[in-house]
Amino acid sequence: MKITVALLFLAGLFQTISGQVSTQARAEQMHFSAEDETVKRPIVLPDQALEVIEKDPDVAEVLKNENPPLRKLPRSWLMASEIHLDGPDEKDIVVVAAGHLMGANVTTFWILRPTDHGFAVLLTAPAHDLYIKGTRSNGYRDIEMAAAAAARVSTVTFRFDGNRYTKYRQNSEDIR
pLDDT per position as a tens digit, 105-153:
899 999 999 999 999 999 999 999 999 999 999 999 999 999 988 788 9
Q: How far, in Å, CA of 146 to CA of 153, rounded?
A: 7
Q: How far, in Å, CA of 63 to CA of 133, rounded?
A: 33
Q: How far, in Å, CA of 157 to CA of 176, rounded?
A: 22
Question: Which of 104, 105, 94 has its CA nearest to residue 53?
Answer: 94
Classified as helix, coil or strand, 110 is strand
Q: How far, in Å, CA of 59 to CA of 168, rounded?
A: 26
Band (pLDDT 50/70/90 cuts) for residue 175 is: confident
Domain boundaries, the chain: 30-174
149: left (phi over 0), alpha (psi -120 to 50) or beta: beta
Whole-model pTM?
Answer: 0.82
Q: How far, in Å, CA of 108 to CA of 142, rounded?
A: 18
